[in-house]
Amino acid sequence: MRRHALLGVLAAISCARPTTAWDGKCWKCWESFRASLWLPFSEGDIQSRQWAVAAKMAADQFNARNGSIVAEFAEVPPACPFVLSVDVWDTSQGPTVAIKDFTEAYISSGFDDCFYPNFRKPAVIVGPKFSSVAVPLSIVAGANSFDMISPSATSPVLDEAVHSNFVRTIPSDGDGFAEAFCDWCRDQGWTTVGIIAKSDSFR
Q: Are 146 and 165 within 8 A, CB to CB?
A: yes
| Pairwise pLDDT comparison (117 vs 196), residue with the higher score | 196
Digit-coded pLDDT (tens) for 144-181: 889 999 998 988 889 888 899 999 988 888 777 778 88
- What's the CA gap between 151 and 171, in Å, rounded? 10
End-to-end Cα spacing for the chain: 25
Q: Are 10 and 62 within 8 A, CB to CB?
A: yes
Question: How many residues would you count in the chain?
Answer: 203
- On the question of pLDDT at 22 being above 90, the answer is no
- On the question of pLDDT at 199 being above 50, the answer is yes
Q: Are 10 and 57 within 8 A, CB to CB?
A: no
Q: What angle do CA 18, 24, 30 make, to 5 degrees?
A: 25
| DSSP code per residue over 38-98 | EE--TTT-HHHHHHHHHHHHHHHHHHTT--SS-GGGGGS-TT---EEEEEEEE-TT-HHHH
**Which runs of E-coded beta strand occur in 27-103?**
32-39, 83-90
| Pairwise pLDDT comparison (177 vs 111), residue with the higher score | 177
- On the question of pLDDT at 189 being above 50, the answer is yes
- On the question of pLDDT at 133 being above 70, the answer is yes
The pTM of the whole model exceeds 0.85: no
| CA neighbor of 202 nearest in space, from 129, 132, 99 | 132
- What's the CA gap between 35 and 148, in Å, rounded? 10
The domain over range 2-187 is classified in CATH as 3.30.420.110: no
| CA neighbor of 51 nearest in space, from 68, 60, 62, 38 | 38
Give the model's pLDDT for residue 120: 62
Residue 150 φ/ψ, nearest 5 degrees: -110, 135
Give the model's pLDDT for residue 159: 85
Residue 166 φ/ψ, nearest 5 degrees: -105, 135
